[in-house]
Each structure stands twice: as structure tokens, then as C-alpha cells.
Amino acid sequence: MKDSLLTILRDKNTSKVNFRHAAQQLAMILASEAALKVKQQKKTVETIHSKAVGHELFQKVCLIAILRSGMTLLPAFLYYFEDAYIGILGIRRDENTFKPNLYYENLPLIDKDTLLIILDPMIATGGTLCLAIDKSLQKGAKESNIIIHSILSAPQGIKQIQQHYKDVTINTVAVDEKLNDKKYIVPGLGDYGDRFFGT
């Protein structure tokens, strides 16, 4: 399912409407996978006939969306995590140096037990995510409780993150072949944000 949806996103002839639809379906799948990572505790409930021992979620969740593309994943994750705290980071890559520049930051306070989910559809160089992780750790996050959810990644970006943050989990639909000299993912799908927003 994920692969067929990713193929729709890769196709340069996919319309804006179909691109959005496939992206939102993929986001729902990623969000459902994230829900499996939340800590649970046992709970006993009264049924109509007796008692049953089950489980309930008890871990606090914080979603951090990277502007602007990360916002496209947010609705799907809020479907599963209605009570989540939400943080926003605006990070723009310099097209000459390829270094990430932070231009907006609004993060809630995060404790070490919070499950922190960072949303960014594309991991290219990994610089943006490293900056996002740094900001999250400064707010009190625990590295082993940080999960990055993305749709498409480059091996260079994955390596960059894993070299600096060994306990951070990365969940990505696919890892592509490489980055080109302009630091775009190849074969990739083009600029995710431009295609989703129609800009």
C-alpha cells in the first residue's frame, strides 16, 4: 500500500488533487504506525457481563511540524493523537550553503517521558532534522523518545542524523539512491511542498 501511494507521488504527471490524496493516505499510515509506539498501561473495565483487563494509552505526545511541508502530515497525526501538544519549527535551507536556517520557533515545554514525533516529509541532507532534534532536546526531550516520520529520505540524511543522535528513531516510507549536486533526492518526487501546495 505504501509503495503504491509513493509511486503516485513520484509520478511527475500526478495532478495536485491526486498528489494531495496520496500524501494524506500515506500520512494516515505513518500516524497509525506512530500510535503503536505510545506506552500503555493495564486498565480493568466493567463489561456488561463481567470485568475485562485491557490497556489504555498514558504517555504524553508532542507533535512537531517542520514548516511548511510538515504541516501536511499534522491532520493525520491529530486524528490519532487528539490531545497532543503541537510545536512548530520554521527551518529553511540556504540554497547556496545547503545549511538549515531557523526562522520561526514555537515549541511547548517537553519532559523526558514525552513521546516526541517530528513531522517532515523529506529528509535530504538531514540538516533540518538535526536542528529540530537539537531544539527539542533543549526543551527537555529525551533522545530515545524522539521519532521522525517522513515519506522519502536520502541515505546521506539518514546517516547524518544517526551519526549525531544514535537513539532517535526514523520511520520513513523509502530511502532513495542519493542526493544530486543541488541536494535534491534522486530519483525523488520533486519538491514535495511545491507539489502539495501548488506553488
CB neighbourhood size of 182 (10 A) = 9
* Catalytic annotation, pick one of 94, 113, 167, 194: 194
Give the separation between CA 52 and CA 10, rounded to whole angstroms.
47
Q: How far apart are CA 25 and CA 165, in angstroms?
A: 29
Assign residue 32 the CATH number of its domain: 3.40.50.2020
From the list 191, 175, 154, the residue with the least C-alpha distance to 72 is 191
- Can 11 be counted among the known catalytic residues? no
74: confidence class by pLDDT, cuts 50, 70, 90: very high
Given this model, what pLDDT does residue 103 score? 95
Query: Would you say residue 163 has pLDDT above 90?
Result: yes
> Which candidate in 3, 47, 83, 97 is catalytic?
97
Query: Is residue 83 flagged as an active site residue?
Result: no
Q: What is the pLDDT of residue 39?
A: 83
Alpha-carbon Rg for the chain, nearest whole angstrom, is: 18
User: Which tens digits make up the pLDDT trace of 26-71?
Assistant: 999 999 999 988 888 888 889 999 998 888 777 899 999 999 999 9
Describe the crossing of helices 16-35 and 2-10 by its angle, rounded to 10 degrees.
150
Instruction: Name the more confident of 182 and 57.
Output: 182
Q: Is the pLDDT confidence value at 152 over 90? A: yes
Cα(1)–Cα(9) distance, integer angstroms: 13
Residue 111 has pLDDT above 80, yes or no: yes
Please tell me which residue in 20, 68, 93, 169 is annotated as part of the active site: 93
**For residue 169, pLDDT beyond 80:** yes
Report the chain's mean pLDDT, rounded to a whole number: 93
Give the dihedral of Cα atoms 124, 145, 90, 197; nearest 10 deg: 60
pLDDT digits (tens, 9 = 90+) for 81-92: 999 999 999 999
Checking DSSP bridges between strand 61-67 and strand 115-119, what pairing results, if any? Answer: parallel
DSSP code at position 180: -
Q: C-alpha cell of 134?
A: 537539537
Cα first-last separation, the chain:
28
What pLDDT is attached to residue 65? 98
pLDDT in tens, 135-147: 999 999 999 999 9
Average pLDDT (82-107) is 91
Rounded average pLDDT over 23-28: 97
Question: What is the DSSP code (8-state) at residue 97?
Answer: T
DSSP secondary structure string for all residues of 2-68? HHHHHHHHH-TT--HHHHHHHHHHHHHHHHHHHHTTS-EEEEEEE-SSSEEEEEEE---EEEEEEET
Provide the domain count of the chain.
1
What is the structure's pLDDT at 23? 97
Domain of residue 55 covers 2-197
- pLDDT > 80? residue 112: yes
Using alpha carbons, list the distances in angstroms from residue 78 to 19, 60, 142, 152.
21, 13, 22, 21
Note if 92 is an active site residue: no
Contact 143, 137 (CB under 8 A): yes
Indicate if 97 belongs to the active site: yes
Predicted pLDDT of residue 97: 82
